[in-house]
Structure 1
Amino acid sequence: MRTRKWLLAAVVGLTAWAFAPGPAAGAAPARYLNLQQCMYYWGPAADHFTTVTPSSDGRFKAGTNVSDTKDTAPACGAGDGNFAPVPILSGVTALDLRSGRYLNLQQCTYFSPSAFDYFTTVGGSQDNRFKAGTNVSDTQDPPNDAVCGSGDGNYVLVPSESYTRSLDLTSGKFLNVHQCLFYSAEHTDHDTKYLGGGGSYSAGSNVSGTADTAPVCGPGAAGYDPIPLLSGVRALPLS
């Protein structure tokens, strides 16, 4: 009797599975990459840092996603009581993935000598002095020609750490956005990187046929070390 009941349950389950609705064949991929940038700041240390992806510490998350609708505000974590979100330097860049072949991911790094504070942006915010010109296009942007804001006089652009990586959106099923946080205990300073070619402060953002599960980060240098807790990767489906 137990065998018959099991067989009946299996048949019912199989029938339900066979007629359950599934994803539509040939469904179009999501149209927009909503690149969310969340800036955090701790006043006593004059220390900024950005996030674009979630990490192991949800207090500093950012909700970058792909969707058929444009996001209008970033979904940022609340911070940890010391570091708090900075709305004027946080924002969303909604990019139409159907408008071109390449995601020209731009990274702009700024530095304040008086505060000894680095921070990096990848998109726009309410303060265009610190923008980064990430875009989707049929042409590849020059690698050393990121479109960055000029800073505010206190924070100035660091050209050697500001550049573009052109990712071919047709070359894989996933856009893997890597976020690598580095920290200097000597200077009480965090900085984030999203790009790079294997250098000390690099991050391995890419387009691939597989979804990355861990960020690929450089080893750091000059007293700046990787912080795994605040580093992460977001694998976004392109098809």
Structure 2
Amino acid sequence: MHRFSVVAAAVAGAIGLTLGSTAAAEQSGARPAERYLNLHQCVYVGSGGHYTNVLPNTANSAFNTGTNVSNTPDSVLSCGPGGGGWRPAPANSAVKAFDLAAGRYLNVHQCVYFNAGQHYTAVLPNTPNVNFNTGTNVSNTADTELNCGPGGGGWRLLPANSAVKAFDLADNRYLNLHQCVWTSSGQYYMGLLPNTPNANFNTGTNASRTADTTLNCRSGGGGWALNRTDSAYRPLGG
């Protein structure tokens, strides 16, 4: 049985943000708006292992996050309470305010760890559990080398599901975030990036001059099936 009672299609919404520095935005014709991408990483633990959510608009609202864009940097983590035996894991959760005026690229590092059939996905660089932090940052340089903490406590990095992707926000109007969640035998795996070596579990996350209108997730495989209740997409821009 699924741990949630709500079953619905993934919901999309658009929020305005400044794509890259103000000068770069003016050159590309992007409309200056909010300065900060406040990314909330909410991790839950239960009988199915670990479940990571970064989006505010999945069908399972009890597990949604406070991810938003604003002219004010968030400093307080906002996570749903969880339910169905799943509880928040504060040591692996955090909020990071990325200053989009600080550089052209949003370099997202997706680090996936594995232990006894369980998967844990991390994208933020500042959780209390520092051995599982990532190199996600804003810079004028596009990152090409994955930066992941070493893990520990029996958890090891899973390179096949990990990757780094540099999103050029100065030359594009939207950051379209696709969060895809797959399930197998009560286990959960979340992917955010489109370019991991394990291509069957990639997502449609991209930077574009247009807002995406449908969720884009690969089909999974090896007994893993897409769970649309926990999956969603969010176009950030305007």
Partner SS state of residue 107, structure 2: strand
Greater helix share, 1 or 2? 1
Q: Partners in 2 of 1:171 and 1:164 — Cα distance?
A: 19
Show the counterpart of 2:26. Answer: none
TM-score (norm 2): 0.81
Show the counterpart of 2:113. Answer: 110
Contact conserved, 2:179 with 2:191, CA < 8 A, in 1? yes
Q: Deviations over 1:156-180 (max 9, x none)?
A: 1112221101110023221111100
Aligned pairs for 1:27-66 (under 5 A) are 28-42=32-46, 44-45=47-48, 47-53=49-55, 54-66=57-69
Show the counterpart of 1:88. Answer: 91
1:182 and 1:27, CA in 2 relative to 1: closer, same or farther beyond 3 A? Answer: closer
| 72-81 vs 224-233, which moves further | 72-81
Partner SS state of residue 154, structure 2: coil
Q: Partners in 2 of 1:103 and 1:194 — Cα distance?
A: 14
Partner SS state of residue 204, structure 2: coil
**How far apart are 1:127 and its partner, in Å?**
0.9
Aligned pairs for 1:1-239 (under 5 A) are 28-42=32-46, 44-45=47-48, 47-53=49-55, 54-113=57-116, 116-123=117-124, 124-142=126-144, 145-185=145-185, 188-197=186-195, 199-237=199-237
Partner SS state of residue 95, structure 2: strand
Q: Deviations over 1:181-234 (max 9, x none)?
A: 01012xx21010000249210011111222223321110011111100100112
TM-score (norm 1): 0.81
Q: Partners in 1 of 2:65 and 2:203 — Cα distance?
A: 17
Aligned residues: 205
Runs of 5+ consecutive residues of structure 1 not aligned to the other structure: 1-25
Q: Deviations over 1:118-139 (max 9, x none)?
A: 0111103111111111111111
Runs of 5+ consecutive residues of structure 2 not aligned to the other structure: 1-29
Query: Looking at CA atoms only, which structure, 1 or 2, has the larger radius of gyration?
Result: 1
1:57 and 1:214, CA in 2 relative to 1: closer, same or farther beyond 3 A? Answer: farther
Show the counterpart of 1:4. Answer: none
Contact conserved, 1:103 with 1:135, CA < 8 A, in 2? yes
Q: Write out the 4+ residue segments of structure 1 that deviate beyond 6 Å after TM superposition.
A: none
Contact conserved, 1:214 with 1:232, CA < 8 A, in 2? no
In structure 1, what residue type is equivalent to 2:45?
Answer: Y
Contact conserved, 2:163 with 2:195, CA < 8 A, in 1? no
**Structure possessing the higher relative contact order (Cα contacts under 8 Å, 6 or more residues apart):** 2
Percent identity for Structure 1 against Structure 2: 38
Q: Partners in 1 of 2:94 and 2:36 — Cα distance?
A: 15
